[in-house]
Structure formats: C-alpha cells, structure tokens
Amino acid sequence: MPKILFIEGVSGVGKSTLVRRLTERLRGQGYSVKSWVEFDFTNPIDFYCTAVVSSGKYADLCSRYPDSVETLNRYTVAADDIKLVRYYNEDTPLFEQPLLSELWDREFCYEPKNPVPLSEYARIYQAVWRQYFSTLGQETDYLIFDGSLLHHPINDMMRNYHADKEQILCHIRQLLGTLGSQERTIYYLRTDDIAAQLARAHTDRRQNPTSAKEVEFWRQRYENDQFVLQWVDENFQIVDVSNKGWNNALEMILADLV
C-alpha cells in the first residue's frame, strides 16, 4: 500500500514548491508517486471551487442542462448521498453560464455563500476520504498531499464556521480515522517569522501587501495547527524552513523516507 505524506504549514511557507521537488526526487530514485499541490482540481480529497449538491438536485441539473451531462459526470465526486462538482480549474471555468453560477451558489468550502452546517461539512468530508482511501491499490509507493489535512480544512472551519480548537481537533481526528491502517506521516513546515514569510510570498506571487489582519489570522492558524499536532496522536515531523531553508527541509524529508 502507498505511504501517505501530508505537507502542511501556514500560507506562503513553501508547501507546494516542496511537494513538487519531493515528487521529482522520489521519482528520480525509481519510486511511483502521485502528488497534488494547492488548487489542483483533480485532488481526490481536497476541494476548491466545488459545489455540494444533493443527488436529487444533481439529477435536476442533468435534466435542465442535457448538453452538460458528460462534463458534469467528468468533474463530479460522489460520496454517499452527496455530489461534489468541481466547476473551476484554477481560473478557468469548467462550465458555461448559467450553470456555472448555479454551481457557484452551492460552493462547499471556499467563501461559500450558503455554507452547509458544520456537522454536514464534516460528514461529507469524511465520506469522501473514506471512499477514496478504501479503494487504494498497490501500484503507487507514495501519495503526497499539499495542505489537504490541516491547511484547507482548518481554514474552512475557522473562516466559515468560527470553529474552536476542540472542534477542529475532532474533525482532523475523524479524517485521519478514515485512513485506517494506511501508513502516513505529517511534515509540518514552520518558520521563525510568519509575517516576513507571508510578505515574501505575496511579493513572489505579485499579490497585494499583507495586512495586519491577515498576519494575525495566520498566527492563530499556526497556534491551532500546533494544538492539533500535539493531540492528534499521529506520526509528524516539524521541519524548519526559516531563512529559506527549503533545501535542508527536502533533504531531511528524503532521509526520513528512504
């Protein structure tokens, strides 16, 4: 069975870059690797620009938009009685109007207009994870996920539901419980100066300068992450990437793996 790696850390700390480099190095050593970075709409357990739709509503959409049925089926993840429909690939819409707007109105995670109740959010996420990890075969050595365990779910819970630490911990434990006996490790990238790291990342991405409110959010995020890691009872490593230490971080992870 594949070993599962979760690469975690606050925004701008270098998770996606490290995932790409780790994937390249492991493949260069002959390992079979599947990996997903942030905003990859093919990620089987993480959701961005994804509509949550009941089975009945999904049938209604297919009935009203017959020319889009094939595309709907292609970009839909089914879990229990729920359909999750991806409607954007980064900045590229996967559907035309007015269907695109209908899906946007039912956004599941990212700034949802009408968020589902927290209990339903947790149930859907667990159903998706349980379904995916129960079907893994032997053909892959490593599965590497960028921010799919802590980064995005905790963002959702803090921004959409104002969840406290105990609620967050409960959700993450439940997600990990869907993995059963699958071997996994959490690598958490930390930096000495969150504000400086965010500012550097915004400059590199040509984004607006960071605000004091944003810096405070990510400091709180870091505290919540550490609380979860302390109590989640999982194998994790804290990897220091302060002072642009990504090369050392990569070598440390590779040494730990192989």
* Crossing angle of helices 151-161 and 165-177, rounded to 10°: 140
Q: How far apart are CA 73 and CA 77, in angstroms?
A: 8
**Residue 159: burial class (beta carbons within 10 Å; 0-12, 13-18, 19+):** middle
Give the separation between CA 107 and CA 90, rounded to whole angstroms: 15
pLDDT at 199 over 80: no
For range 106-115, the mean pLDDT = 95
Mean pLDDT lowest among 122-126, 163-167, 203-207: 203-207
Q: What is the pLDDT of residue 8?
A: 97
Return mean pLDDT, the chain. Answer: 94
Q: Does domain 3-42+121-257 have CATH number 3.30.70.2740?
A: no
First to last CA, the chain: 16
- pLDDT tens figures, 140-188: 999 999 999 999 999 999 999 999 999 999 999 999 999 999 999 999 9
Which parts of the chain fold into alpha helices (H)?
A: 15-28, 55-64, 69-74, 99-104, 118-133, 151-161, 165-177, 194-204, 212-231, 246-257
Residue 158's pLDDT is: 96
The structural domains of the chain, with segments of one domain joined by +, span 3-42+121-257, 50-104
